[in-house]
Structure 1
Amino acid sequence: MYYDALKTFVSVVEERNFTKAAEKLRISQPSVSLHIKNLEEEFQTTLLKRTPKMVTVTPTGEMLYERAKQILYLYKQAKQEIYEYHHFVQGKLTIGASFTIGEYVLPKLLSEFHQLYPHVEIEVLIDNTAQIAEHVRLFQADIGLIEGRVNHTELQISPFLEDELSIIVKENSLFLTQKNLSLSDLQNQTWITREKGSGTREYLKHVLDSNGLKARTFITMSSNQAIKEAVLNGMGMSMLSTYALKKEERIAILPVKEAVFKRKFSYIESPVVEENKNKALFLTLLKKLTKK
């Protein structure tokens, strides 16, 4: 509120003249007088003694002069830092992402982030949910994007996007000819799933267990693409995120009566790590884009 008045006051003290201060600041002399008057009323003291020939600074004026210079410097520094925050972002950002997010959701986010902050060096670690949680816990990643649950109580977890999963089969599967197919019809099937520690595997096991379904056998694969190829080759059925199926025309989604498979994508972070500017900017963009 008193920034302009303090700036005027410092100029008058240094010029020892109201007219010269007005010329230096490119304001009128009455404005200079008004600024000094407002400061003297605010601090309830006489700051300057003015004579026709010169301006004398009072003891309280000297005190304010020293503080005013500090205030003006800090104001200028804060303004510069805020400007740099928005315009000159650099440094490094390490993001851990589970496979589904890292392969199908994160690329669009990173493209937007890179356009906004081209000088930030980005490193992406893609692994299953359990390993991403470990990377964040050990400070090897600034933030983790996961699709499953984590058991580390020292990590903060926040959902940011809803994900829907589908049961998939090969195009000529006999299951596709059945009408009113229900989950109970999927008893004793071969399921192709991800490795232990994967959020997708965890969710599939939850669906099977909660519906009393037994698997004939599990075939484990360490990537979504490998699972899709296995399904295409008739090795069994699987469950994957719809994000992993958007551009996949060779695989059939099995319509199951009254069954909706939904979960939350979440981001995890360590509360003991000092706030990272690049991480904060990424999270702001993440929340903005996933609201659309």
Structure 2
Amino acid sequence: MIAISPRQLEVFAAIVDAGSVRAAAGQLGLSQPAASMALAELERLLGTPLFDRGRQRLRLNERGRALLPRAREIVERLRELGTLAGDAPAGTLAVGASNTVGNYLVGDLLGEFIAAQPQVKVRLRVANSAQVLAGVLDFRLDVGCIEGPLEHAEVERIDWRRDELKVCVRADDPLARRRRLRADDLRGRRWILRETGSATRSLFEEAGRGALGPLDVALELGQSEAIKQAVIAGLGIACLPAVAIGDAIANGRLVALHTPFLALERRLALLVHRTRWRGATLRAFLGSLGKRRESKD
């Protein structure tokens, strides 16, 4: 039997999460030499490196990716055994959220869980949906929350709630005064869109395919807030999540157009790797959202 210690596995997982030995050592209350030694001993016992090393950066290699979910499961199981209840949430939860969720729905996503489990440290990473899915696949994220239809055979997708996109224009745009629009009214307009990989952009392009024809994309931006400000500045029109433009509509800077010819409703979903062990912390998080989760149509 290989004499691997829980501490070595804990250090390994912490290095993956923190991105460096130094940062992981600080999180665990160890000296950097002690953390380095624990990693070196783990790699010696396994007979293989777990990271590709170059230019003072550690990149998880294939063997490291295979070990990571098992190491986290062992660490979490031992942590639970150490609690009085034997099954209490503890430790760190790594959550990924798409830009829409992370910037506008973070309270709905995390609020109830953080209030109920103050002893758990939550790490939130905000990125586009494709990046969140990638984080779940390589186990850097325990759970992700995305908009749009992204799926993967290795990931379970759990419906959370509905969301809707809206085509919006500046308040003084001629289209803002039109009660009834046709798809042709949007042809030839200059569009400001999210970057490739964004679920918001993917849904809009799918909905507009055929109805709107080729799009004149004047500007690509990585944040809905930046796009909103660009539309207000008169640089073009956009399709944005309804939750992102509510304030600008309320104060009269933007108008949301009525576009029944575009199917712009979507579902926000939780992503969990199918082989990811669902310990007390992850179960508690999913449970906090499950109380308000919408049933599937």
TM-score (structure 1 length as normaliser): 0.67
Bigger radius of gyration among the two: 1
**Conserved in 1, the CA contact under 8 Å of 2:147 and 2:269?**
yes
Q: SS in structure 1 opposite 2:291?
A: helix
Q: Which residue identity does 2:131 align to in structure 1?
A: Q
Tell me, in whole angstroms, the C-alpha distance in 2 between the residues paired with 1:84 and 1:245: 45
Tell me, in whole angstroms, the C-alpha distance in 2 between the residues paired with 1:154 and 1:84: 29
2:184 aligns with: 184
Tell me, in whole angstroms, the C-alpha distance in 2 between the residues paired with 1:147 and 1:231: 22
Tell me, in whole angstroms, the C-alpha distance in 2 between the residues paired with 1:243 and 1:195: 19
Instruction: Spell out the pairing of 1:190-229 with structure 2 (5 A cutoff).
Output: 190-229=190-229
Q: SS in structure 2 opposite 1:153?
A: coil
**Conserved in 2, the CA contact under 8 Å of 1:158 and 1:268?**
yes
Structure 1 counterpart of 2:280, from 253, 277, 281: 277
Tell me, in whole angstroms, the C-alpha distance in 1 between the residues paired with 2:279 and 2:165: 33
Alpha-carbon deviations, 1:236-265, whole Å to 9, x = none?
A: 111111111233332211123565520111
1:240 aligns with: 240
1:72 aligns with: none
Instruction: Spell out the pairing of 1:228-267 with structure 2 (5 A cutoff).
Output: 228-248=228-248, 249=251, 250-257=253-260, 259=262, 261-267=264-270
Instruction: Spell out the pairing of 1:1-292 with structure 2 (5 A cutoff).
Output: 83=85, 85=87, 88-150=88-150, 152-248=152-248, 249=251, 250-257=253-260, 259=262, 261-291=264-294
Aligned residues: 212
**Conserved in 1, the CA contact under 8 Å of 2:194 and 2:222?**
yes
Q: SS in structure 1 opposite 2:275?
A: coil
Tell me, in whole angstroms, the C-alpha distance in 2 between the residues paired with 1:151 and 1:218: 30
Cα distance, 1:84 vs structure 2: 5.4
**Conserved in 2, the CA contact under 8 Å of 1:208 and 1:214?**
no
Alpha-carbon deviations, 1:5-52, whole Å to 9, x = none?
A: xxxxxxxxxxxxxxxxxxxxxxxxxxxxxxxxxxxxxxxxxxxxxxxx
Q: Which residue identity does 2:214 align to in structure 1?
A: K
User: For the structure 1 residues 179 and 246, does the alpha-carbon distance in structure 2 shift closer, same or farther, using more than 3 Å as the test?
Assistant: closer
Q: Which residue identity does 1:211 align to in structure 2?
A: A
Alpha-carbon deviations, 1:161-188, whole Å to 9, x = none?
A: 1111111111100112234212221111
Alpha-carbon deviations, 1:170-219, whole Å to 9, x = none?
A: 11001122342122211111111111110001011112214243222341
Aligned-residue CA RMSD (Å): 2.3
User: For the structure 1 residues 291 and 217, does the alpha-carbon distance in structure 2 shift closer, same or farther, using more than 3 Å as the test?
Assistant: closer
More displaced 10-residue stretch of structure 1: 201-210 or 253-262: 253-262
User: For the structure 1 residues 259 and 197, does the alpha-carbon distance in structure 2 shift closer, same or farther, using more than 3 Å as the test?
Assistant: closer
Alpha-carbon deviations, 1:249-287, whole Å to 9, x = none?
A: 322111235655201111111111212321111111112
User: For the structure 1 residues 210 and 144, does the alpha-carbon distance in structure 2 shift closer, same or farther, using more than 3 Å as the test?
Assistant: farther
Q: SS in structure 2 opposite 1:200?
A: helix
Q: Which residue identity does 1:182 align to in structure 2?
A: R
**Conserved in 2, the CA contact under 8 Å of 1:129 and 1:149?**
no
**Conserved in 1, the CA contact under 8 Å of 2:170 and 2:234?**
yes
| Structure 1 segments unaligned to the other structure (5+ residues) | 1-79
TM-score (structure 2 length as normaliser): 0.66
User: For the structure 1 residues 94 and 169, does the alpha-carbon distance in structure 2 shift closer, same or farther, using more than 3 Å as the test?
Assistant: same
Cα distance, 1:156 vs structure 2: 1.6
**Percent of matched pairs sharing the same residue:** 27
Tell me, in whole angstroms, the C-alpha distance in 1 between the residues paired with 2:143 and 2:217: 35
User: For the structure 1 residues 257 and 266, does the alpha-carbon distance in structure 2 shift closer, same or farther, using more than 3 Å as the test?
Assistant: closer
**Conserved in 2, the CA contact under 8 Å of 1:128 and 1:199?**
yes
Q: SS in structure 2 opposite 1:231?
A: helix
| Structure 2 segments unaligned to the other structure (5+ residues) | 1-81
